[in-house]
Structure 1
Amino acid sequence: MEGQGLISRSEGAVLVLSNNNPQARNALSPEFYTALGQALEDAACDPGIGAVVLTGEGGHFCSGGDLRQLAKRRELPLQERRARLEGLHDLIRALRDFPKPVIAAVEGAAAGAGLSLALACDMLVAARDAVFSVAYVKVGLTPDGGATAFLAEHLSRQVLTELCLTGERVSGERMHALGAVNRLTEPGQALSQALALAAQVAAGPERAMARIKTLCRAAYANTLTQQLEAEAECMVRSQDTDESREGIGAFLEKRPPDYTKLRRRGN
């Protein structure tokens, strides 16, 4: 399905959502915010969707905010500028809190808020020559969209500060070395590799994977005591599910588990 700002299609149990503004290297737009937010809301309730791949049309992931629109915002009152920014931040929160796996497939530019969108996903597949940058400083602005929070999970304070103060372009290869990219591909192969990874996790146990996502997000802020408590709570709940019955039963019977039948039954 194609809409202004977003193209969506299904690849089996994987929903592919593609930023569709190639003339502006997929700069963000209000239409994209609305369409992506709605697509994620719908996908969360769709038992036929097990994972999502987020990508961009025309050889670029996302070049960030539309500077022509941002320039006009200086004329708005401070509170209205803040309200406009929350459109981006709501989208970042929607990606973070989405209950199913989300994988970014990055070719070309992932700059500014585009970098934030990519890093907000659960996993990231990137071409070697993809370009990531925290480019705000080059136009007299400061990072948003959680860029500093996401990068801080991988970088020392010194390296984070350097990238934000210089706006230096970082290749997909370096981002992989820093641990921010799960899988590195040759140019033009990011989407196909992301689809393969998404298909693998889409076949998994939906409720268990949602709990795993929550645990992984919390692990960076929790103390060991807090994380042990969170893990214990998730484990005891997971033990009493049809998913664990199917998974353990399949292991003991030496057969592949079939979690998709549970989704069809709504379990």
Structure 2
Amino acid sequence: MSDILLTRREGAVLVLTINNPSARNAMSFEFFPALTAALAQAQTDPHIGAIVLMGADNFFCSGGDLRRLAHSHEFTLQQRRTGIETLHQMIRALRDCSKPVIAAVEGGAAGAGVSLALACDLLVIADNAYFSVAYVKVGLTPDGGVTGFLADAMPRQLATELCLTGERIFAPRLAQLGIANRLAEAGQVEMQAMTLAAWLAQGPGRAMGRIKKLCRAGSGNTLMQQLDLEAQCMVESQGDSEAREGISAFLEKRPADFVALRGAARGGHQ
């Protein structure tokens, strides 16, 4: 794995660390395929139950590398589009990963770093950290899906203000809006994220993957479409060994052991 993305395992939790501290963990072009590959590997590893994404040296991610973007006008339209699609492929991989992904945000997130955080399922953020969608300050427009994520998370007027002004929005307001799942004291974010990830990693992985799909689709679907998707997921879950274990454990008044089932084939009819 590239040094731009550090990986380590703590039990069933995979920790991915953006490692470019001299540039506040700006995303280089090499970072995009590195994170995409790490997510793909985690997806197929039955021993990984949850993922934590964080930045080195107490800062999450400052977005794209402006030193590289300073030369983007020299490229053709197609070359520029190809570069953006590499970023977007990474965001899709993060968003579509069936395993719970927790963003652990110390310091702050800016530009595409906000996209990276919001593409995760859950967000643990330091109480003094911030988000900044600051593309406008350098004459650029947002990418990485950030306008879509913001549209799902807050009123249009606030999302427009953040994008037009590039002003920072701080952790307490993010929590008030329901965007941050946990506020932690500075220096305690990783610990809280790891505690949450370790708890999720003990859960029914295939069921949680279906739950993630339902939650992603809910805001864009009509009620009828969502009912159909819920029926599809429930039918799959009812035939899954995870449900058999979970229901048996409940009736027998014992803790369910979903970890033992993690190596089963996805779809889980066994």
TM-score relative to the length of structure 2: 0.96
Does 1:198 find its partner at 2:197?
yes
User: What letter corresponds to residue 109 of structure 1 in structure 2?
Assistant: G
Match of 1:106 in 2: 105
CA distance in 2, matches of 1:218, 1:102: 17
SS in 1 for 2:34: helix
Distance 2:144 2:32 in 1: 13
- Within-5 A mapping of 1:1-267: 3-266=2-265, 267=268
Is the Cα–Cα contact under 8 Å of residues 54 and 105 in structure 1 kept in the other structure? yes
Q: Deviations over 1:4-50 (max 9, x none)?
A: 20110011100000000000000001221121111111100001100
**Amino acid aligned to 1:94:** A
Q: Secondary structure at 2:124's aligned position in 1?
A: strand
User: Over residues 193-229 of structure 1, what are the superposed CA-to-partner deviations in whole Å (9 max), with x where a residue is unaligned?
Assistant: 1111111111111111111000000000011111111
After superposition, what is the alpha-carbon deviation per residue over 1:117-173, rounded to whole angstroms, capped at 9, x for unaligned? 000000110001112000000000000001111011121111111110000111111
Is the 1:4–1:32 Cα contact (8 Å) retained in structure 2? no
Matches of 2:176 and 2:85 in 1, distance apart? 32
CA contact 1:4–1:31 (8 Å) conserved in 2: no
Post-superposition shift, 1:265?
A: 4.8
Amino acid aligned to 1:36: L
Q: After the TM superposition, which parts of structure 1 deviate over 3 Å for at least 4 consecutive aligned residues? A: 264-267
Query: Which amino acid in the other structure matches residue 89 of structure 2?
Result: D
Contact 1:56-1:62 within 8 A present in 2 as well: yes
Amino acid paired to 1:60: F
List alignment gaps of at least 5 residues for structure 1.
none
The alpha-carbon distance between structure 1 residues 233 and 264, as it changes in their structure 2 partners (threshold 3 A), is: closer
Return the alpha-carbon distance in structure 2 between the equivalents of residues 164 and 237 of structure 1.
41
The answer as to whether partners of 1:43 and 1:49 remain within 8 angstroms in 2 is yes
- 1:3 deviates by 3.3
Tell me the CA shift for residue 264 of structure 1: 3.5
Name the Cα RMSD after superposition: 1.0
What whole-Å deviation, never above 9, does each CA across 1:181-204 have from its counterpart, x for those lacking one?
111111111111111111111111
Alpha-carbon distance between aligned partners in 2 of 1:154 and 1:261, rounded to the nearest angstrom: 36
Show structure 2 runs of 5+ residues with no match. none
- The one-letter amino acid paired with 1:113 is A
Instruction: Measure the CA separation in 1 of the matches of 2:244 and 2:122.
Output: 28
Matched pairs, number: 266
Cα distance in structure 1, aligned partners of 2:263 and 2:158: 47
* Residue deviations 1:33-74 (CA, integer Å, cap 9, x gap): 121111111100001100000000011100000111001111
SS in 2 for 1:110: strand
* Counterpart-to-counterpart distance in 2, 1:232 and 1:34: 35
**Secondary structure, in 3 states, of the residue corresponding to 1:198?**
helix
Residues 19 and 62 of structure 1 are in contact (CA less than 8 Å); yes or no, is this contact kept in structure 2? yes
Secondary structure, aligned partner of 1:103: strand
- Equivalent residues of 1:112, 1:135 under 8 A apart: yes
Q: What is the alpha-carbon distance in structure 2 between the residues aligned to residue 161 and residue 154 of structure 1?
A: 12
